[in-house]
Amino acid sequence: MIKSLWKCFKTLKNMLLTTSLLVVLGYSLSWLLGPSMQTKPFQVTAHLAIAGITEDDFNALEEDEGDVTELSPKLIHYILDDRAKRISDSLNIPEDLRKRVEFWFKIYAMYTISNAVLHDTDHPWVLYEVINLNSVYSNYRKAQDRKTAKSNMIRNARYKYIHVLDKLSKAKHFRNLTSDEKKVYALFKEVPGDRKLVFSKAKGRVRVQLGQKDSVVYGIKRSGRYLKSMEKIFQDQQLPIELTRIPFLESSFNLNAYSKDGASGIWQFMYKTGKIFLNVSSAQGIDERNHPLKATRAAAKLLHQNYQILKNWPLAVTAYNHGPGGLLQGMRKIKSQNLNDLIENYKHPYFGFASQNFYSCFLAILHVEQYQDEIFGYLEKDKHLDHEDIEIMYSMRVKFIKEICTVSQEDIKLYNPDLRKKALSSYAYLPEGYYLKLPNGKKQCLLNFYQEVENTNRILDKILGKDSK
């Protein structure tokens, strides 16, 4: 006992000495090499809220920050018209949503997170300006200074266009306009209504949207691990496989995505909805919302239900964000089953910007993903995660499974991201009925174990006189 304590003490002492030396060395290098080592050239903290982007991802984006992918109008029309016929006819872009979808297509395909796009909320295609925020990275070293500078750039640009709209709303005539006034006047040319009233209302609708190209690119790369299996699930349910692209919109295939409202996983299931279709149990340490394939089965059921209720995909997909009840209420109120009619005429505080644009965003990101080679060139995707499913027939510990199947803790986590720390601990038991995913060729060990248990039970039944034919 004393020897063991002495050995632990010596180990701890050596660790403390090593840590102290590393701290001194790191500080010395920082002092010698100057501020370039003390400050990262690209601070990530201000952008971590962007769905699907991680700190590691940003390391590869520094050189490309601020660059806009220029796509010709001809190519954009080719893609949005689906000239190559890569998308089901049931998910073609409706003509009355075309301009809305095109706006979001540019957000996903052209603009990066360093591009702040100023636009009108009700008519997103009315695009005032695209601000390049890249200058803050060369002008400011500290993350907080960069954040402040970005906010100031965006705020000043918003005020500029609000001021222009205010002047136009009060103008006696529209002759002798300044260049900015002419530009804004032309943007609203196709928006119906009295000109002064149109400009007056638009003052309160100047919105800023950051580009999402970075997020989409990394979502496409990550999707390779699961997309093939997800398509099979939707195909088996006789649903359009294109609907499996909703996670690009919800989470960019970020397995750790968790919203401020409590939505979790790549499909962003809320807790209450998740409980209906999935095992979400803090007591067991299981949250199947976080397993891409289990959540995909749940999403397929939910989307099928929405379609049964609402009878068309524009409404069924919108209901994934808004819920079918609210849409049914809106349809009754405006007496229409057309999504664009709802967007233009149904006014309700819960049917806001996100719900109104959800289907258009989905169509936009679907077309970007289907035509990714034409837009981004070749993108190397994560290798597909081949696996085997097996039901847990008897309550057992993960530790036991690791031993009899010779799988690592890392593989258990990789194939079963729905298992939390509690479920992976040495003392926790996986419940009967839980479906475990294992690397190919590994489930036979559990099948053999089940067979041994059955054989043992038969022998015991015979010994105890409980044998039954």
pLDDT digits (tens, 9 = 90+) for 405-422: 999 999 999 999 999 999
Confidence of residue 467 (pLDDT cuts 50, 70, 90): low
Residue 2 predicted with pLDDT over 70:
no
Residues 191/197, Cβ–Cβ less than 8 Å: no
DSSP bridge partners of 209:
117
Q: Which CATH number fits domain 219-376: 1.10.260.40, 1.10.530.10, 2.60.40.2480, 1.10.3720.10?
A: 1.10.530.10
pLDDT one-digit tens code per residue, 151-188: 999 999 999 999 999 999 999 999 999 999 999 999 99
Q: What is the 3-state composition of the chain as percent helix, strand, coil, each rounded to the nearest 5? A: 60, 10, 35
Asked if 280 contacts 289 with a C-beta cutoff of 8 angstroms, the reply is yes
> Where are the chain's structural domains?
2-33, 63-213, 219-376, 388-463
pLDDT in tens, 288-329: 999 999 999 999 999 999 999 999 999 999 999 999 999 999
User: Cβ-count burial of 113 within 10 angstroms (0-12 exposed, 13-18 middle, 19+ buried)?
Assistant: buried
Q: Is the model's pTM score more than 0.85? A: no
Query: What is the predicted pLDDT for the residue at 12?
Result: 47
Residue identified by tokens 């089965």 is 297
End-to-end CA distance of the chain: 57
Q: How many CB atoms lie within 10 A of CB 182?
A: 13
> What is the per-residue DSSP string for 238-283?
T--GGGGGHHHHHTTT-TT-B-TTS-BTTTTB-HHHHHHHS-EETT
Looking from the CA of 152 toward its CB, the CA atoms found within 13 Å total 8
pLDDT tens figures, 77-103: 999 999 999 999 999 999 999 999 999
CA angle centred on 162, ends 160 and 167, rounded to 5°: 95
Give 419's DSSP letter. Answer: B
> What is the predicted pLDDT for the residue at 11?
53
Pair 116, 153: CB distance under 8 Å? yes
